[in-house]
Amino acid sequence: MTPSTAKRPEMSIEDFEELSRRAPRNVRLEFLGGRLLVKHGPIHVEDFEELARRAPETVTLELLNGNLRVKPVPDGDHGEIYMWLMRECMHSRPDLGLYPEQGLVIDTYRSGRARTDGALAPIGHFAGQSEWATPEGVLMAVEVTSHDADTDRRDRHEKRDGYATAGIPVYLLIDRDNDTLTVHSEPENGAYRQHPTYPYGTTVVLPDPVGITLQTEKLKDYAR
């Protein structure tokens, strides 16, 4: 494994120490094996939102399945892939916006909080909503994997299931570990019924209500 693809810990010890100092008094944090944990068990949604507000700029937090997660800082290729997808979406559907780093309420009983890489929705959809918006009206959630130790659990499982439970029609996963795109669609009973996977370079159809066809040859420029 090359240095550029080596799995990184969730956060640095310096970021953990700063986050721990800023945490609400009733939230006690630990940092074990490169992973952020809540010492007293699952964190309540209200405590999570307060912790997320207090977090330093270098730390982005999510709450998935009742567990605290750290969203990795994107690298250059991650950003280029997102910009490519945004251009594709705007060209095909100028009535829609691919909103970066949009916070969404997800999971059963609305106990989850996910910070998407991108949320595709009609222009103006998030106006007047809070930092953690409702998923209703979002047509597609997008995640681009990062080369960190938690990407398999977070992007391929927890977020997939959370977006399905929330009823988001399409979840697009751009997986940089194997240079593929997986298009999840038809959410039903907390799972996506369809989930075909395509290698970089193929034509990928994002089903309705998205209705966008992606020509993915450009993604080969960011394969490592």
Which residue has tokens 């997102």? Answer: 82
Q: Please state the domain extents for the chain.
A: 3-71, 76-222
Output the CA torsion sign for 84, 88, 91, 95: negative
What is residue 65's predicted lDDT score, i.e. its pLDDT? 80
**pLDDT tens by residue, 13-40:** 898 899 999 999 889 898 877 788 888 7
- The tokens of 36 are what? 């952020």
Architecture of the domain delimited by 76-222: Alpha-Beta Complex (3.90)
Q: How far apart are CA 142 and CA 172, in angstroms?
A: 5
What is residue 2's predicted lDDT score, i.e. its pLDDT? 40
What is residue 195's predicted lDDT score, i.e. its pLDDT? 98
- Per the CB < 8 A criterion, the answer to whether 113 and 45 are in contact is yes
What is residue 171's predicted lDDT score, i.e. its pLDDT? 98
Positions of the chain with pLDDT under 70:
1-9, 108-110, 149
The helix (H) or strand (E) run that includes residue 198 is strand 197-199
Which CB contacts under 8 angstroms, 24+ apart, belong to 42-49? 42/66, 42/67, 43/68, 45/110, 45/111, 45/113, 48/113, 49/113, 49/131, 49/132
